[in-house]
Amino acid sequence: MGFAARLGVRNPTWIGLLAILAAGLGITSGIQPKLGLEATLALVFVAAVLGNVTVGLALFTVLSFLVVINVGGGALSVMKVAGLLLFMSWLAAVATRREREVRSLVKSEPVLVVAAVAWVSWAAISAVWAESSGAALSSSYRLLLDVLLLPIVFGAIRSREHFLWIVGAFVFGATVSAAFGLVQSGGARVTGSIGDADGEAALLVAALMLTAGLTAAFPRGSRRRLLSMIAGLIAVVGILGTGSRGGVVALGCVLVAAVVFGGRWRAQAFALLVAATAAAAVYLIVLAPSSASQHLVTSSSTGRTDLWKVGVRMWTAHPLVGVGLANFPISSVHYVQQPGALTRADLIVDVPKVTHNMYLEILDELGPLGLIAFLTLAGASIVAALRAARRFESAGDVSFELLSMSLALAIVGLLCADFFISGQYERLLWLLLALPPPLLALAPSRPDVR
């Protein structure tokens, strides 16, 4: 049902407005073809989002990979507008559904919801004691938009096919980003459309796990299964091409996690761990660009350890409530002149950087309460994915059992990679965290229900 129909709008004036809009696009394209194309694509996105929240969510997922995040530029604003449109479409869908069709995220995942509310609320409250209350409030708004993906995704995914759409959109976006990076790297480290090697590697690790799940979900010999396998290969090459130590560590973490949580698939997971380790070693020695392989083996951390030292000093000085959300770059200058040499003080004084460790940054800015809230939220999401896997296993649904397991591993991989980057605002992280609850809702509640 279209957005206008869902809201009860039946005004023929819409036809006239569309005609005027089409004429305007035609004139714009004639004067500025690039601007006309961008406007057309934007309108297509708006129509898709407002017409069908699930299709809009899939497009939003792909767009999140293709629009480079630039806090000082327009890319972030574009994604904010896209997110608000998605939120409007979700509200319209919820408002027009019959009461028996509306599922409650609060009833399904109360721990996750309470943790999410506590996380955003505490972040906003931190503006009271923050050195820059404006930065804290602005970033709290960003967190709120990210957390809103939890109910949006829960409401948008109402069938197994819907779930495959969103996972497929994530894999497609990651594959395009990796392919773009591999083509454009010119022997340098792969940064993809994300524009950052470590961030690209983190998302590719998650995408690789999801491609494994899709490969298991699609029928043998099908075109979709072949495409998912190709996407997985591109993801592996992209991860190693980034030369990201965080990406390699995250990949190792998910392979170990696959062995730990593998259940009846533990033997296959262990074999995959051994094979992947050997293949990665061969690639890095024989095929990888020298810039990537050298970065992996060098001891240089490009200032990350100095940022971590300052982060530890900051938490020691503010052990209970932190310095306020988004205030690490602002307050870090106060902790330079303390015992302990810093080799890259410029990253703190001249061009202040984030912590490059999501957990330390949360601890610095929001204290233990903030970190506990986030870890509780993330843990509840992973547990929901594992519960879904067990339900599908009991029902004999092998494909969705493995897909559920791969989703849990994707989240684990991204969270491990975030030990080396500050990814708490990454909307694709929140998209992954939002996927397990609707998947669990789709899983049969009893073994005899197919």
> How many domains does the structure of the chain reveal?
1
The whole-number pLDDT of residue 126 equals: 98
Rounded alpha-carbon distances, angstroms, from residue 27 to 19, 31, 37, 39, 435: 12, 6, 12, 12, 42
**Domain of 402, in residue numbers:** 52-301+353-442
Residue 6 has pLDDT above 90, yes or no: no
Which tens digit of pLDDT belongs to each residue from 385-407? Answer: 999 999 999 999 999 999 999 99
Does some domain include residue 237?
yes
Does some domain include residue 326?
no
Of residues 355 and 410, more confidence is placed in 410
Q: What is the mean pLDDT of the chain?
A: 82
Q: Which of 153, 269, 212, 252 is nearest to 406 (CA)?
A: 212
Give the pLDDT band of residue 449 (cuts 50, 70, 90): very low
Does some domain include residue 11?
no
Which range is least confidently modeled, 7-11, 199-203, 233-237, 375-379? 7-11
Give the pLDDT band of residue 298 (cuts 50, 70, 90): low
Give the pLDDT band of residue 73 (cuts 50, 70, 90): very low
pTM for the full model? 0.86
Residue 349 has pLDDT above 90, yes or no: no
Does some domain include residue 131?
yes
The pair of structure tokens assigned to 15 is 């036809």
Residue 209 has pLDDT above 80, yes or no: yes
The whole-number pLDDT of residue 402 equals: 93
Average pLDDT over residues 309-328: 94
Cα separation, 181 vs 190, whole angstroms: 5
Report the percentage of the chain scoring pLDDT > 70.
76
Does some domain include residue 318?
no
Cα separation, 255 vs 271, whole angstroms: 10
Average pLDDT over residues 134-139: 96
Of residues 190 and 269, more confidence is placed in 190
Give the pLDDT band of residue 448 (cuts 50, 70, 90): very low
Does some domain include residue 410?
yes
Which tens digit of pLDDT belongs to each residue from 88-114? Answer: 788 877 777 665 555 789 999 999 999
The whole-number pLDDT of residue 351 equals: 58
Residue 410 has pLDDT above 70, yes or no: yes
Which range is least confidently modeled, 54-58, 94-98, 346-350, 434-438? 346-350
Does some domain include residue 39?
no
Cα separation, 254 vs 443, whole angstroms: 23
* For the ranges 49-63, 111-125, 263-277, 338-352, the one whose mean pLDDT is highest: 111-125
Residue 296 has pLDDT above 90, yes or no: no
Number of other residues whose CB lies within 10 A of the CB of residue 363 = 23
Of residues 231 and 272, more confidence is placed in 231
The whole-number pLDDT of residue 421 equals: 93
Give the pLDDT band of residue 450 (cuts 50, 70, 90): very low
Residue 384 has pLDDT above 70, yes or no: yes
Residue 87 has pLDDT above 90, yes or no: no
Q: State the Rg of the chain over Cα.
A: 23
The whole-number pLDDT of residue 287 equals: 60
Which range is least confidently modeled, 21-30, 69-78, 136-145, 287-296? 69-78
